[in-house]
Chains A and B, each alone.
Chain A
Amino acid sequence: MSYIGIVVASVFVSNALLTYGLGTMPGGNLEDAGSFASALALAFVNTLASALLWLIHGFLLAPLGLDSLDILFFALIAVPLLKFVARTASISKSRILARTGNRAEELIVGSLVFGIALLSSRSGYSLSEAVVASAASGLGYWLVEFLLESLRERLELSDLPYPFRGAPAMLISTGLMALAFMGIDAAFIKGLVS
């Protein structure tokens, strides 16, 4: 598949939250959920995590026939490296870099980063394809976060029955959004861009 196809598939067809259910529920306690710093952090952390896992898988695990141990080596090698980079960014003097670093630190030990790294490494991509796919998946998650954050603000102002206030309304809205994304057919996209 071409890189454009990988980007479109990762953002819409195989969206990290709406298709795979990765990441925390958006519209929860996240500050700056739809901000530029969040987008930067998501793209950066996922790209670096996927690249590291791909390299660990390609040069360490596959030659030894230990493919299934990817998560352990990810926790051992990639997570400390990612935390170090995020912490370095968070103490930077630049405000945007500091916010990106803080957001990145929140994301690192979470199902989103682990999940996207696993998806990229187990999809048979080359290194460049894995990097593009994971960056696009991170941005796809940010897009959904941004849309749901706007929805959440509107829902808070609505007069909903008590049982549906907050989380239930957000979950149902997320489901309806996922239904809309499901309309983007995987086979059609593959045919269009491959």
Chain B
Amino acid sequence: MSEKMREKILENLAAGSALGFLTLLIAVFSIVVDSRSIAWEKDALAISAASVVALGRVDDPDFDRVYAIRESAGSSYGVVFSKRSSRASALFGATFSPKGELRELMLLGSCSSRLPTNPKDALDSFTGSEATLSRAANAAATAAEADS
């Protein structure tokens, strides 16, 4: 192997290691941020965050996770999702019964819009909101089945 080739390989290895280190750093940061986000979402869904348990990740464009809210009367299942249009964006929280029926809808926060204060009206102002709620209900029902 020529000297030049060896140098090139060493340079590539060094660059690759540096990038690998950066990737590891950012991966650790993302895990920390995820855990803080989960804590925030738990707070948003229930009065007592201690009663909320994060279940597995969900593959959905609008929400990441389903939460189980343990109450004395039984469990309900919650989801925090975002909706966005070209003019506004908002974060909503929804809780469902184990069968997937909507129990409560909350408007957690909004940006750049005069959204209605009623969460249902606010959600209706975004396209695709029914589809999102229906997917969230299905995810809650599936999580309830796995949980029981």
Contact = CB atoms under 8 A, between A and B. Distances in A.
**A and B touching (C-beta < 8 Å)?**
yes
Contacts, number: 28
A66 B23 CA distance: 11
Contacts of B60: 124
Contact of B127 (A68, A69, A76, A186): A186
Interface residues of B, number: 16
A167 B39 CA distance: 47
A124 B26 contact: no
A62 B59 contact: yes
Given A72-B26, A124-B60, A124-B61, A65 B34 contact: yes
Given A69-B27, A122-B61, A19 B86 contact: yes
B127 A187 contact: yes
Interface residues of A, number: 16
A108 B64 CA distance: 30
Contacts of B31: 65
B132 to A, nearest CB: 10
A128 interface: no
Contact of B57 (A65, A122, A124, A186): A65
Contacts of A165: none
B19 interface: yes
Contacts of B142: none
B30 interface: yes
Interface of B: 19, 23, 26-27, 30-31, 33-34, 57, 59-61, 64, 86, 127-128
Given A66-B30, A69-B23, 14 more contacts: A19-B86, A62-B59, A65-B31, A65-B34, A69-B26, A69-B27, A72-B23, A76-B19, A76-B23, A123-B61, A124-B60, A124-B61, A187-B127, A190-B127
Interface of A: 19, 62, 64-69, 72, 76, 122-124, 186-187, 190
